[in-house]
Chains A and B, each alone.
Chain A
């Protein structure tokens, strides 16, 4: 089954304790992206990757890191989490169109609470 898999689905952590949210897709998609969803703000893009070893900042990258060493994986790293990073996180992927945006396939989400 074609899917985007995120882990963990739920996590409670404490301020400053490094954590990684993994994302893996089995569709051979070039494009991958991380979004965070907050009430009243919708989905905001954190980082994206156009292909292996190609990553760039989205709209709200502060406090996050990513890497794209393999095509299928795009982990989101919080080096020193803070309470304002408490949110619902989504990973998404798509093929890269010759030009313009494409349909995203989303993971089920990872709910993170930072105490």
Chain B
């Protein structure tokens, strides 16, 4: 069965500093990989996804993520964080065959300090 681990419950970053949010997955093969962001009082919005090809994926709002098969990881990065990036971030995995379901991690809440 698929599973996703986001080891950091909270992260605080200074505005302008770089950011890396960790995501590790467990799956029998290479899954489809997603990062979603949830701003306060809002639904989840897709930041980026990896289906195949280049393992460095660019997303919206200046985010990127790198798929590392050897580490079963899909970490999210941003070179310079803005106050508006404060939100909760979810990593998710989905099967490549058959079932449509996405399995989500428990989320990482990002706080941005002035």
Q: List A residues at the B interface (Cβ < 8 Å).
A: 4, 31, 33, 35, 40-45, 48, 50, 58, 90, 92, 94, 96-97, 99-104, 106-109
Contact = CB atoms under 8 A, between A and B. Distances in A.
Interface in B30-45: 31-32, 34, 36, 41-45
Interface residues of B, number: 27
Nearest to A6: B43
A100 B98 contact: yes
Contacts of B9: 40
Interface centre among B46, B97, B98, B102 (most CB of A within 10 A): B102
B22 to A, nearest CB: 15
B95 interface: yes
Contacts, number: 68
Contacts of B43: 4, 90, 106-109
Contacts of B90: 42-43
